[in-house]
Amino acid sequence: MKIKFESKFEKDLKRIKDKKVLYRLKQAIIDIKVATNLSEIDCLKKL
């Protein structure tokens, strides 16, 4: 899947100091990029 980030999100990422949170975010982004459809993404909730 293609992912598009807002500039605000990128700025918010720079402010995060907790390595565990950054690692989990990185893993989530990788999982989304690899997925070919929404059903392949774990813990996805409809908003």
* Residue 2 included in any domain: no
Residue 24 and residue 6: Cα distance in Å, rounded? 19
Domains: count for the chain: 1
Do residues 3 and 33 lie in contact, with contact meaning Cβ atoms separated by under 8 Å? yes
* Residue 46 included in any domain: no
Cα Rg of the chain (Å, integer): 12
* Residue 35 included in any domain: yes
Total-model pTM: 0.74
pLDDT 10s digits, 27-37: 999 999 999 98
At residue 22, the pLDDT reads 94
Domain that holds residue 13: 7-40
Over residues 7-22, the mean pLDDT reads: 93
* Residue 16 included in any domain: yes
* Residue 15 included in any domain: yes
